[in-house]
A and B are shown apart, each in its own frame.
Chain A
Amino acid sequence: RKEVEQDPGPFNVPEGATVAFNCTYSNSASQSFFWYRQDCRKEPKLLMSVYSSGNEDGRFTAQLNRASQYISLLIRDSKLSDSATYLCVVNNGNDMRFGAGTRLTVKP
């Protein structure tokens, strides 16, 4: 079983749609959690951290369920510029483990 698993997609949604991505992780001792964004042929960049209490940054909401070892990202009112690959990332104390990413395409 992979350490961090994500649905690879692709998710093709119209502008303005709400889209949700899920991620599961295998190491119950994992300490911190993140979503990174990677544009085509570019480096990953931190989108947001994920906390058990849930956190919101504008149109983006991240949730963590430690009991289920599950992380989610919700994007509301999708924009064309949201098109990218979203990487679920887990810090297991020694290093960061990346999921393979979920690809999102937002269409006009």
Chain B
Amino acid sequence: DTAVSQTPKYLVTQMGNDKSIKCEQNLGHDTMYWYKQDSKKFLKIMFSYNNKELIINETVPNRFSPKSPDKAHLNLHINSLELGDSAVYFCASTLNSRPDTQYFGPGTRLTVL
């Protein structure tokens, strides 16, 4: 009964590969996010979706493509992985009525070799 879940938890892959990370929330929240936390521990927003609609699209390479099949899911597909993509990727969600309180998933640790 995890509130925000992500799969996989760990992902080790070679440069140039394409991979996806999945996120699901069972909280009934309206908005979902993807964050990247690099080795310097900065947590930086990448994308935000509200009711399946893209709201925030920070300056990230277009190799990153989010997809929201429904309000409870937000997946992240990454093409042509690069070494610099190695990081922990966190999914989060919020209610529209309480946008400040973010519930984070456990994170996906991506290592690109």
Contact = CB atoms under 8 A, between A and B. Distances in A.
A and B held together in a complex: yes
Interface of A: 8, 32, 34, 41-46, 49, 85, 87, 91, 94-98, 100-101
22 contacts: A8-B41, A34-B100, A43-B104, A43-B106, A44-B90, A44-B102, A46-B102, A85-B41, A87-B43, A91-B100, A94-B56, A95-B33, A95-B45, A95-B56, A96-B45, A96-B102, A97-B45, A98-B35, A98-B42, A98-B43, A100-B40, A100-B41
Contacts, number: 40
B80 interface: no
B107 interface: yes
Q: Which of A43, A91, A100 has the most CB of B within 10 A?
A: A43
B100 A49 contact: yes
Most B CB within 10 A of own CB, among A32, A44, A97:
A44
B43 A91 contact: no
Interface in B56-70: 56
A91 B90 contact: no
Of A46, A96, A100, which is in contact with the most chain B CB atoms at under 10 Å from its CB?
A: A96
A101 B41 contact: yes
Contacts of A8: 41
Given A87-B43, A94-B56, A42 B100 contact: no
Contacts of A44: 43, 90, 102, 104
9 closest A-B pairs by CB: A43-B104, A98-B43, A100-B42, A95-B45, A100-B41, A32-B100, A44-B104, A101-B41, A95-B56
B44 A98 contact: yes
Nearest to B90: A43
Nearest to B102: A96
A46 B101 contact: yes
A98 B33 CA distance: 14
Given A42-B106, A44-B102, 16 more contacts: A8-B41, A32-B100, A45-B104, A46-B101, A46-B102, A49-B100, A85-B41, A91-B99, A95-B45, A95-B56, A96-B45, A96-B102, A98-B35, A100-B40, A100-B41, A100-B42
